Amino acid sequence: MNVYENKENYEIEVAAPGLDKKDFHIDLKDNVLTVSSERKEEKQEKEGSKVVFCEFNYSSFSRSFQLPDGVDINKINASHKNGVLKVVLPKREEFKGHAPRMIEIS
């Protein structure tokens, strides 16, 4: 999962190969955005063998984010393409133009 900020918005990207957009849930409550997915595991037994160890099953996950001041919650949108869920959180007009910057440590 990656989170980016630019002058116009914040972006959250979730790499989730094998999941479709119907597998995701995005909720907003009390200024907390939650991205989650739950999918029933399907054990893939091969004839004459059993699964001993498996890392390919993505069964569920949930991540929550406290939204920063300035997010226009009415314009949040999401898309899914090539196994990546992208959530865009546009900034309100009065917060646009403030690009992130590095603070030097003295």
- Specify if 77 maps to a domain: yes
Q: How confident is the model at residue 38 (pLDDT cuts 50, 70, 90)?
A: confident
- Specify if 105 maps to a domain: no
Is the pLDDT confidence value at 64 over 90? Answer: yes
Q: How confident is the model at residue 5 (pLDDT cuts 50, 70, 90)?
A: very high
Q: Which two tokens stand for residue 13?
A: 């990207």
CATH, residue 80: 2.60.40.790
Half-sphere exposure of 73 (CA within 13 A, CB side): 12
Q: What is the average pLDDT score of the chain?
A: 85
Q: How confident is the model at residue 72 (pLDDT cuts 50, 70, 90)?
A: very high
Give residue 74's region: left, alpha or beta (phi > 0; psi -120 to 50): alpha
38 contacts 57 by C-beta, under 8 angstroms? no
Residue count (the chain)? 106
**pTM here?**
0.74
Q: How confident is the model at residue 27 (pLDDT cuts 50, 70, 90)?
A: very high
Print the domain residue range for 28: 2-40+56-93
- Specify if 47 maps to a domain: no
Q: How many domains does the chain have?
A: 1
Q: Which two tokens stand for residue 63?
A: 């991540």
Tell me which residue of 4, 19, 1, 11 sits closest to 90, measured CA to CA: 11
Position 34 scores a pLDDT of 96
